[in-house]
């Protein structure tokens, strides 16, 4: 039988698919990956049996609360999302999911995730993860995003938290090493996002959001991307300089960092939307590979 396309009668599988997409699965996968690296780096050598249990619970809990934050963002921004090509397909933007459905989904994910963290990990990780939820879903989405072009710089602090959450899960405290990884993601976020904002400027203008290319123009944004990539490169040397990571990591950080700087400089000097898109995707590969290098380095014999 042909399925109806009305919102309330969507077939179950596509309804689940709609809810799943609200969790911004691919962004959250990288967030969880960074949290897992934070967990691995928090303990010397391979995890013991009990530590595996904590790792699985912390991964599930952080995943669920991050998904809840993303769904809450979709709920708050349904009108804005409807105005932008990139996001108009979301079920919330199309009115295919009611406010009550989306809110219940977000609250349920957040509650289950928080309970897992509380009972199977530790209260500190639960509170830090919940603070991250509030940082993204409320402080960034509701307050900063419509207010200032520095929205993603300040709001990026919540996206940078995953290694701290992972570290806290295994150690029960927040160490300077975890803060260093947090700093790296914090500095990575502006070039990551502004590369996208450059080729999506019209979308953001139409939606009335004060993103940097809208308020300060493309040239200023490109310059900021160059500055951030160089500062990021310097910050990524710190794990080696502080003895936290070894030569393998250092080589990876320098090669990846120089490649990111080269993208930023090329973007600045010979701009095209196509290259801005490439730079955005490179930023995702950059962070994934940098964190993979931290992990490999951690397990290499000294
Ligand atoms: C406030 C901070 C951040 C902002 C404003 C931001 C912005 C964005 C936007 C707008 C997209 C959508 C691209 C599209 O679908 O066209 C995106 C994609 C992505 N972001 Fe971020 N991001 C932030 C932080 C992060 C963090 C912390 C991570 C991971 C650690 C991350 C990982 C990703 C990934 C993997 C994608 C690709 C998603 C896909 O494949 O569709 N982002 N980001
Ligand atoms: C608990 C925990 C670890 C929470 C993590 C918070 C989180 C999901 C951060 C990711 C940041 C993100 C999806 C930004 C997208 O920007 P946007 O919302 O401006 O993008 P949009 O225009 O696609 O909605």
> How many residues are there in the chain?
302
Ligand 2 centroid to 72 CA: how many Å?
A: 10
For the Cβ of 19 lying below 6 angstroms from any atom of ligand 2, the answer is no
CATH 3.40.50.80 for domain 1-174, yes or no, is no
For the Cβ of 61 lying below 6 angstroms from any atom of ligand 1, the answer is no
Question: Binning pLDDT at 50, 70 and 90, where does residue 1 land?
Answer: very low
Domain map (residue ranges) of the chain: 1-174, 175-302
Q: Smallest Cα–Cα separation from 251: which of 242, 239, 261?
A: 239
User: How far is it, in rounded angstroms, from Cα 15 to Cα 96?
Assistant: 9
Question: Binning pLDDT at 50, 70 and 90, where does residue 86 land?
Answer: very high
User: How far is it, in rounded angstroms, from Cα 181 to Cα 162?
Assistant: 9
Mean pLDDT of 27-39: 98
**52, pLDDT greater than 80:** yes
Ligand 2 centroid to 284 CA: how many Å?
A: 14
* Mean pLDDT for all residues in the chain: 95
> Which pLDDT score, from 0 to 100, does residue 3 have?
36
For the Cβ of 228 lying below 6 angstroms from any atom of ligand 1, the answer is no
Tokens of 108: 């349920």
* Nearest-ligand number for the alpha carbon of 164: 2
> Which pLDDT score, from 0 to 100, does residue 268 have?
98
For the Cβ of 152 lying below 6 angstroms from any atom of ligand 1, the answer is yes
Mean pLDDT of 207-236: 98
Which residue, judged by its Cα, is nearest atom 22 of ligand 1?
193
Cα distances (angstroms) measured from residue 12 to each of 4, 8, 223: 12, 10, 47
For the Cβ of 189 lying below 6 angstroms from any atom of ligand 1, the answer is yes
For the Cβ of 110 lying below 6 angstroms from any atom of ligand 2, the answer is no
> With contact defined as beta carbons under 8 Å apart, do 86 and 200 qualify?
yes
Tokens of 175: 């160490």
> Which pLDDT score, from 0 to 100, does residue 7 have?
41
Mean pLDDT of 16-26: 96
Ligand 2 centroid to 283 CA: how many Å?
A: 15
Say what the pTM is. Answer: 0.95
ipTM reported for the complex, 2 dp:
0.95
Question: Binning pLDDT at 50, 70 and 90, where does residue 302 land?
Answer: confident
Question: Binning pLDDT at 50, 70 and 90, where does residue 13 land?
Answer: low
> With contact defined as beta carbons under 8 Å apart, do 129 and 29 qualify?
no
Which pairs count as long-range contacts for 210-219, CB under 8 Å and 24+ apart, including other chains?
210/146, 210/147, 210/148, 210/149, 210/151, 211/149, 211/151, 211/152, 212/149, 214/149, 215/149, 216/149, 218/271
User: How far is it, in rounded angstroms, from Cα 300 to Cα 98?
Assistant: 50
Indicate the SS3 state at residue 77.
Answer: coil
User: How far is it, in rounded angstroms, from Cα 241 to Cα 184?
Assistant: 14
Question: What are the pLDDT digits (tens) for 131-172?
Answer: 999 999 999 999 999 999 999 999 999 999 999 999 999 999
Tokens of 146: 């419509």
Instruction: Give the mutation target among 69, 107, 128 for probing the ligand 2 site: most ligand atoms within 8 A of CB.
Output: 69
Q: At a CB cut-off of 8 Å and minimum separation 6, what does 232 contact? A: 184, 187, 188, 191, 257, 260
Question: What are the pLDDT digits (tens) for 103-139?
Answer: 999 999 999 999 999 999 999 999 999 999 999 999 9
* Nearest-ligand number for the alpha carbon of 30: 1
> Which pLDDT score, from 0 to 100, does residue 39 have?
98
User: How far is it, in rounded angstroms, from Cα 178 to Cα 164?
Assistant: 5
For the Cβ of 155 lying below 6 angstroms from any atom of ligand 1, the answer is yes
**258, pLDDT greater than 50:** yes
């Amino acid at each position: 039988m042909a399925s109806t396309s009305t919102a309330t009668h969507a077939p179950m599988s596509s309804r689940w698919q709609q809810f799943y997409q609200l969790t911004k699965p691919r962004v959250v996968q990288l967030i969880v990956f960074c949290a897992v690296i934070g967990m691995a780096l928090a303990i010397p050598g391979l995890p013991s049996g009990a530590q595996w249990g904590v790792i699985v619970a912390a991964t599930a809990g952080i995943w669920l609360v991050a998904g809840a934050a993303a769904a809450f963002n979709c709920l708050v921004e349904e009108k804005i999302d409807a105005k932008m090509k990139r996001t108009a397909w979301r079920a919330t933007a199309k009115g295919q999911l009611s406010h009550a459905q989306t809110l219940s989904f977000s609250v349920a994910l957040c509650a289950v995730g928080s309970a897992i963290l509380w009972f199977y990990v530790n209260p500190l990780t639960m509170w830090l993860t919940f603070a991250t939820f509030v940082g993204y879903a409320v402080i960034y989405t509701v307050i900063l995003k419509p207010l200032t072009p520095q929205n993603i710089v300040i709001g990026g602090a919540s996206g940078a938290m995953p290694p701290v959450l992972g570290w806290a899960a295994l150690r029960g405290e927040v160490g300077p090493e975890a803060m260093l990884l947090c700093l790296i993601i914090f500095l990575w976020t502006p070039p990551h996002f502004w590369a996208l904002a450059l080729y999506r400027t019209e979308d953001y203008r139409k939606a009335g959001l004060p993103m940097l290319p809208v308020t300060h123009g493309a040239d200023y944004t490109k310059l900021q991307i160059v500055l951030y990539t160089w500062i990021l490169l310097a910050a990524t040397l710190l794990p080696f300089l502080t003895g936290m990571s070894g030569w393998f990591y250092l080589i990876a950080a320098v090669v990846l960092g120089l490649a990111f700087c080269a993208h930023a400089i090329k973007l600045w000097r010979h701009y095209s939307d196509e290259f801005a898109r490439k730079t955005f995707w490179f930023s995702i590969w950059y962070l994934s590979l940098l964190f993979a290098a931290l992990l490999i380095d951690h397990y290499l014999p000294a």
